[in-house]
Amino acid sequence: MMKLKLPVSVSVLALALLALGGCNRWRVGPSLVKQGDAALAEKTRRIGAYLITANLAEKEGNIQAAIYLRQVANEELRHASELATSLLGVQTAKQAITSLQLLETKAATLTYPEIAAVARRNSRKNTARLFDALSIDENRHAAGLTAVMAGMP
């Protein structure tokens, strides 16, 4: 199996969206695409950070902060979607779902089991159990995406 080397800082969502562009993304020029890739990676990092912080605020009982942080995350998501379509060639939801299926399957069958194994070798049982559970969730996500795709025209 071929392994793809990517910068660690690029988020999973950015990878999914970037994988969709194919030849279309090069029509705007390599320099602009590189800047678009970086901007999309930054946007997706921020989306995650806002959502994580919103969940923390909600757990602490600060509902107003959680609502605001989720609102900002949704605005960042809109920006990321616009970047993906205008600069990187993402055309349809079906294209995006296909790439997400691949990412979920890879996480469930390769990435998370490998991390769990390393954690076990280093006597980090709780970490291993976490990644085992994440692998199960990712398999469920992939199956759900397959069902969604089956219902799409």
pLDDT class for 30, splitting at 50, 70, 90? low
Q: What's the mean pLDDT when you consider all of the chain?
A: 81
Q: Rounded to whole angstroms, how far apart are CA atoms 29 and 87?
A: 9
Q: What is the mean pLDDT of residues 18-39?
A: 58
Q: Give the pLDDT of residue 82.
A: 85
pTM score: 0.62
pLDDT at 125 over 60: yes
> Could you please report the per-residue DSSP string of 85-119?
HHTS----HHHHHHHHHHHHHHIIIIIHHHHHHHH
84 falls within a domain: yes
1 falls within a domain: no
Indicate whether 36 and 82 sit together in one domain: yes
CATH number, residue 118: 1.20.1260.10
Indicate whether 49 and 29 sit together in one domain: yes
Q: Give the pLDDT of residue 97.
A: 87
Indicate whether 66 and 24 sit together in one domain: yes
The number of folded domains in the chain is 2
Indicate whether 77 and 108 sit together in one domain: no
Q: What is the mean pLDDT of residues 17-29?
A: 45
Indicate whether 65 and 27 sit together in one domain: yes
pLDDT class for 143, splitting at 50, 70, 90? very high
3 falls within a domain: no
pLDDT class for 132, splitting at 50, 70, 90? very high
Indicate whether 74 and 102 sit together in one domain: no
The domain of 55 spans: 9-90
Indicate whether 98 and 82 sit together in one domain: no
Q: Give the pLDDT of residue 31.
A: 72
pLDDT at 13 over 50: no
Q: Give the pLDDT of residue 88.
A: 64
- Closest by Cα among 84, 73, 81 to 48: 73
Q: What is the CA radius of gyration of the chain?
A: 17
Q: Give the pLDDT of residue 92.
A: 82
